[in-house]
Amino acid sequence: MSEHAPLNLVDSHCHLDFPDFDGEEADLVARARATGVTRMVTICTRMGNEPRVRAIAERFPEVFYAAGIHPMYAAEEPPVTVEQLVALAAHPKLVGIGETGLDYHYTAESAAVQAESLRVHIEAARQTGLPLIIHSRDADADMARILTQEHRAGPFGCVMHCYTSGPELARAALDLGFYLSMSGIAAFPRSTEIREIFATAPRDRILVETDAPYLAPPPYRGKRNEPAYVAHTARAGAEALGIDPAEFAALTTANFDRLFTRAAI
Each residue of 19-49: pLDDT tens digit?
Answer: 999 999 999 999 999 999 999 999 999 999 9
Please give the pLDDT value at position 187. 96
Please check whether residue 80 is in contact with residue 49, taking contact to mean a CB–CB distance below 8 angstroms: no
CB burial class (10 A; 0-12, 13-18, 19+) of residue 22?
exposed
Q: How many Cα atoms sit within 13 Å of 56 on the Cβ side?
A: 29
Q: CA 262, CA 168: separation in Å to the nearest integer?
A: 30
Per-residue confidence band for 1, with pLDDT thresholds at 50, 70 and 90: very low
Please check whether residue 208 is in contact with residue 252, taking contact to mean a CB–CB distance below 8 angstroms: yes
Average pLDDT, the chain: 97
Nearest in space to 234 (alpha carbons), one of 61, 33, 36, 99:
36
Domain parsing of the chain, residue ranges: 9-263
Angle subtended at Cα 245 by Cα 158 and Cα 210, rounded to the nearest 5 degrees: 45
Kindly state the average pLDDT of the residues 231-240.
97
pLDDT beyond 70 at 3: no
Tell me the fold of 9-263.
TIM Barrel (3.20.20)
Helix and strand counts by DSSP (H, E) for the chain: 10, 8
Q: CA 250, CA 7: separation in Å to the nearest integer?
A: 9
pLDDT beyond 80 at 114: yes
CB burial class (10 A; 0-12, 13-18, 19+) of residue 228?
buried
Q: What pTM did the predictor assign?
A: 0.96
Amino acid type, 129: G
Each residue of 146-189: pLDDT tens digit?
Answer: 999 999 999 999 999 999 999 999 999 999 999 999 999 999 99
